Amino acid sequence: MSEKFKVLYYVNQFFGQVGGEDKAGMPPEYRPEKVGPALGFDGALQGEGEVVGTIICGDNYFNENKEESLEFIKKTIKEVEPDVVVAGPAFNAGRYGMACGELAKAVAEEFKIPVVTGMYIENPGVEICKDKAIVVSTADSAAGMRKALPVMAAIARKLAKGIELDAPEKEGYIPQGRRKTLFVDKRGSLRAIDMLLARFKGEEFETELPMPVFDQVEPAPAIKDLSKATIAVCTSGGIVPQGNPDGIQSASAQKWGKYDVSELVELKAPDFYSTHGGYDTAYANENPNRVVPLDILKEYEKEGVIGKVYEFFFTTTGTGTSVSNAKKFGREIGKFLKEAGVDGVILTST
């Protein structure tokens, strides 16, 4: 290793200062300079390392052309020979996080060099690479950039020097699911009793095995009379009109769409198809009603089983979509349906 360790930096089209959604389809390119957050990261290295170049790639391009994108990145790594690779931070941007996660995993596995990225805990990219690379825990938006970069840089400095990292909560990265042997003053049974007593007394304690916390959602009451109910369909299966007019992403969706089916008795191919990137869409494209069962619902409406099929159906793609975006979509669609007087919703997936 030279006097200063070398860092290769990866960013998407937005942080690479190329453009927004209009440039999301740009293929990867390498620039032998510091671009966007790479500048701040380089400063945070405190002269111990240097960002020698930046790879910029559009979010859509990477996720739709993963193998080609990774081949370009691997080729660049072989040419530049960095000591550390850094990606992001992606915060809670799903497509960007997926790109950073796939990159981090591939580089760590093939080149055996340290990889550091940064994401919000709910970013779907976390699960892809957290056991292979260091994922610094960040805020959910770019407002957390100033806090994220110094933490990422401090970790990169340690990794470049071969210094073992401290515990995740001390260093600021997301736990990797690894167990380490430690020497402590008290054996496990005594520590467990101490924690139990603290809990009984209402005192604070820190568990050694944190458990995941899931939302508790109370189910809505049953519809009393289906024959008078208005029923809508909402899907994460990616069914859209021909041409995908709203540009709903094939993965890590950032938006949802609603489409008028009031004059239709079924969804016909190729007028409707799936833009989803997480399953084999051949059967869905052959008959879109397999994902959005408009044909059966219209029959039920005709037979009086249900009162009415709501005039719009709602759609997005579920693969890689962040939990926070999914909640946001649910709130927005739910508000719309409630105001429209819809009585029930059929949720379909893939």
- The pLDDT score that the predictor gives to residue 225 is 95
Residue-wise pLDDT for 93-144, tens only, equals: 888 999 999 999 999 999 999 999 999 998 989 989 999 999 999 998 999 9
Q: Could you tell me if 266 and 166 lie in one domain?
A: no
Question: Rounded to an integer, what distance in angstroms lies between the CA atom of residue 211 and that of residue 126?
Answer: 17
Alpha carbon distance 50, 5 (integer Å): 6
Domain encompassing residue 281: 226-348
37: tokens are 């957050």
Least confident piece of the model among 181-185, 303-307, 335-339: 181-185
pLDDT digits over 268-305, tens only? 999 999 999 889 999 999 999 999 999 999 999 999 99
- pLDDT, tens only, 195-209: 999 999 999 988 877
Residue 292 lies in a domain: yes
Instruction: Indicate whether 234 and 167 sit together in one domain.
Output: no
Q: Which of 171, 192, 217 is the last residue of a domain?
A: 171
In contact, 320 and 126? CB cutoff 8 Å = no
Q: Give pLDDT, residue 212.
A: 73
Instruction: Note whether residue 91 is domain-resident.
Output: yes
pLDDT in tens, 211-239: 777 778 888 899 999 999 999 999 999 99
- Listed in order, strand segments (DSSP E) in the chain are 5-12, 29-31, 49-57, 84-91, 115-119, 134-137, 230-235, 239-241, 257-260, 272-274, 308-315, 344-348
Furthest-apart CA atoms within the chain: distance in Å: 79
**Same domain for 277 and 149:** no
CATH code of the domain covering residue 160: 3.40.50.2000
**Residue 144 pLDDT:** 95
Residue 239 forms part of a structural domain: yes
Question: CA-based Rg of the chain, rounded to a whole angstrom?
Answer: 24
Structure confidence at residue 52 (pLDDT): 97
Residue 316 lies in a domain: yes
Place of tokens 């170049």: 53
CB atoms within 10 A of CB 91: 20
User: Does 179 fall in a domain?
Assistant: no
| Residue bearing the bigger pLDDT, 318 or 267 | 267
- Average pLDDT (238-246) is 96
**Whole-angstrom Cα distance, residue 92 to residue 124?**
8
Please tell me whether the overall predicted TM-score, pTM, comes out greater than 0.95 for this model. Answer: no
Distances in whole angstroms, Cα of residue 196 to Cα of each of 14, 103, 184, 199, 212: 49, 43, 18, 5, 19
* Cβ–Cβ under 8 Å, residues 320 and 251: yes
CA atoms within a 13 Å half-sphere pointing along the CA-CB vector of 26: 20
Per-residue pLDDT, averaged over 42-69, amounts to: 95
Any domain includes 156: yes
Do the Cβ atoms of 36 and 11 come closer than 8 Å?
Answer: yes
DSSP structure string for 119-170: E-TT-THHHHHTTTSEEEE--SSGGGHHHHHHHHHHHHHHHHHTPPP--HHH
> Do 281 and 147 belong to one domain?
no
Total domains in the chain come to 2
